[in-house]
Amino acid sequence: MTSVLSDRINQMEESATLAMAKKARELKAQGIDIISLSLGEPDFKTPKHIQEAAKASIDEGKYFAYPPVAGYQDLREAIAKKLREENKIADAKAENIVVSTGAKHSIANVFMCMINEGDEVVIFSPYWVSYAEIIKLAGGIPVTIEGSLENNFKATAKQLEEAITDKTKAIIYSSPCNPTGSVFSKEELEAIAEVVKKKENLFVIADEIYELINFTGKHASIASFPGMFERTITVNGFSKGYAMTGWRVGYICAPLFIAKACEKMQGQFTSGGTGIAQRAALAAISGDQTASKEMEKAYLNRRDLVLKLIQEIPGFKTHVPEGAFYFFPDITYFFGKSANGFTINNADDFCIYLLEKANVSLVTGEAFGAPNCVRISYAASEEELVEAMKRIKEACANLK
Ligand code: PMP
Ligand code: GLU
């Protein structure tokens, strides 16, 4: 039978992070006591002053109509100012900014605007689940370069150089990284920039959405390096650093012709992002940053707590993440082991086993290009984290 649905959608993988979160939600609704460490979503509430700004904007009554496609001018100006002052991206102006319905949407705009059939995009692996699927949707070919556990999962400039072909159009990485929590240093990014600059028309998509959850105290934006502004699309948003996942506001800072292309694309797909959410985003970016700093501190405490607990589980191998809110342990030790007739052959099996036997949901590393690992999100309360790690430890001890 011919499919009613397009090849495009039939060939697309479902988002593994969202799929696992949905499964955990369904089991919870059945009354099962699931601890969900699968979704990368802050458990904090959006800070009060941001909520208040959104409420005030409703009362003002000025933000109910279609917003400008690329975002309200004052928000674009505030973003550009932040990028100039904090990220040292000296050339960032309001005209370079396009505000979208979340950073995921920003990334989709960029790939839809830049990729032709057969263009290659180098992805630093392990990588966030949606990159490869969006690239394929746009007709591109994802090419991965792999970081290793020994190198904190960071692929290198040398690997990038070897992966570049005539067809390479762009590279994409996240730093701090989802799923590994690794942070690229300024020096590492400088080496990457040097490789990029050797090839005409090669662009960098720098996903900096975890910028505000960085325990090194140092965040480097590749767009700030000499000669890189014209080659970089900086992606950022409000979901993580301001606990605003549901408000759906993200943005890019890009060379003008790319920003204009994304505005055109967005004008045909979604129009401007929700007005009230943009007013909240303006309050977030231009207001008091204390709440974000406090959340960052809480994540650091949890990182240390979970690190200690992971180290007590025989068979888990982990590096020490420096940002975001994920651990990405290698769990190959358990491959071939069984409990109650259930054998673990891969990371998918391991996640199913933990979901069923420990009632803890994680995400398989398969979805992030690393089939020997699992992702643990520690954006959860300390009580939940302690209980979850206890359950995981017990379930793993049964595997023989
Ligand atoms: N990039 C990375 C690395 C992410 O983890 C996420 C998670 N949501 C996004 C982009 C998209 O963020 P959002 O659409 O919520 O702004
Ligand atoms: N980025 C988060 C994650 O990796 C949220 C889910 C998603 O958008 O994929 O879990």
Task: Give the pLDDT confidence of 62-90 residue by residue, as tens digits.
Answer: 999 999 999 999 999 999 999 999 999 99
| Residue 60 burial class via C-beta count within 10 angstroms: exposed 0-12, middle 13-18, buried 19 and up | exposed
Q: How far is the CA of 17 from the centre of ligand 2 (A)?
A: 6
Task: Give the pLDDT confidence of 113-171 residue by residue, as tens digits.
Answer: 999 999 999 999 999 999 999 999 999 999 999 999 999 999 999 999 999 999 999 99
Task: Give the pLDDT confidence of 4-54 residue by residue, as tens digits.
Answer: 999 999 999 888 888 888 888 888 899 999 999 998 899 999 999 999 999
From 240, 249, 278, 377, mutation site for ligand 1 pocket: most ligand atoms within 8 A of C-beta: 240
Measuring CA to CA, how many Å separate 119 from each of 57, 67, 125, 129? Answer: 43, 33, 18, 19
> Atom 3 (ligand 2): residue with closest C-alpha?
40
Q: Please give the Cα distance from 144 to 24 (Å, whole number).
A: 30
Q: How far is the CA of 372 from the centre of ligand 1 (A)?
A: 23
Instruction: State phi, psi for 102 to the nearest 5 degrees.
Output: 95, 155
Q: What is the CATH number of domain 2-45+291-397?
A: 3.90.1150.10
> Atom 5 (ligand 1): residue with closest C-alpha?
178
Q: How far is the CA of 104 from the centre of ligand 1 (A)?
A: 5
Task: Evaluate: CB of 103 within 6 angstroms of ligand 1.
Answer: yes
- Per-residue pLDDT at 189 exceeds 90: yes
Q: How far is the CA of 103 from the centre of ligand 1 (A)?
A: 5
The ligand minimizing its distance to the Cα of 375 is 2
Find tokens 């697309």 and name the residue: 12
Domain with CATH 3.90.1150.10 in the chain: 2-45+291-397
Domain with CATH 3.40.640.10 in the chain: 63-286
Task: Give the pLDDT confidence of 309-344 residue by residue, as tens digits.
Answer: 999 999 999 999 999 999 999 999 999 999 988 999
List beta partners, residue 373: 330
* pLDDT bracket for residue 380 (50, 70, 90): very high
- Per-residue pLDDT at 391 exceeds 70: yes
Q: Which residues lie with the beta carbon below 6 Å from any ligand 2 atom?
A: 15, 17-18, 39-41, 104, 128-130, 178
Give percent of the chain with pLDDT exceeding 90: 94
- Per-residue pLDDT at 1 exceeds 70: no
Q: What is the number of the ligand 1 atom nearest to the C-alpha of 237? A: 16
Query: What is the pLDDT at residue 312?
Result: 96
From 39, 41, 128, mutation site for ligand 1 pocket: most ligand atoms within 8 A of C-beta: 128
Q: Please give the Cα distance from 294 to 300 (Å, whole number).
A: 10
Q: Please give the Cα distance from 9 to 373 (Å, whole number).
A: 27
Q: How far is the CA of 357 from the centre of ligand 2 (A)?
A: 24
Query: What is the pLDDT at residue 17?
Result: 85
Task: Evaluate: CB of 128 within 6 angstroms of ligand 1.
Answer: yes
- Per-residue pLDDT at 224 exceeds 90: yes
Verify cis geometry, omega within 30 degrees of 0, for the bond prior to 47. Answer: no
Torsion angle in degrees (nearest 10) through CA of 58, 60, 64, 67: -110
Q: What is the number of the ligand 2 atom nearest to the C-alpha of 128? A: 4
Q: What residue type is 292 in one-letter code?
A: S
Residues 6 or more apart whose CB falls under 8 angstroms from that of 345 comprise 335, 336
Q: What architecture does CATH give domain 63-286?
A: 3-Layer(aba) Sandwich (3.40)
Centre a 10 Å sphere on the Cβ of residue 186 and count the other Cβ atoms it contains.
Answer: 14
Q: How far is the CA of 128 from the centre of ligand 2 (A)?
A: 8
Q: How far is the CA of 104 from the centre of ligand 2 (A)?
A: 9
